[in-house]
Amino acid sequence: MRTILQSGGTLFHVAASELGDATQWLRIARLNGLSDPVLHGVVELKLPPVDTQAGGGIAEQ
């Protein structure tokens, strides 16, 4: 598992650049105990492994 420092932005952008799919933002959120995709300040994020078969970022209701 990799860790990055992210200064602001959104989990959508992180997922797009690090996982190749912005819809996988929810995987990053869950791994880091986050519910809001908007990042404030400098945040250390754990990244899940790249998984091209992972589903999109729609939370279960």
pLDDT at position 61 is 41
pLDDT at position 48 is 96
pLDDT-based confidence at 9, cuts 50/70/90?
very high
Domain boundaries, the chain: 2-47
User: Token pair for residue 49?
Assistant: 């492994």
Q: What is the pLDDT of residues 16-58, one digit of tens each?
A: 999 999 999 999 999 999 999 999 999 999 999 988 777 665 5
pLDDT at position 47 is 97
Q: Residue 20: CB partners within 8 Å, gap ≥ 6? A: 50, 52
Judged against a pLDDT cut of 70, whether residue 5 lies above it is answered with yes
Prediction pTM value: 0.85
Residue 37 in contact with residue 5, Cβ under 8 Å? no
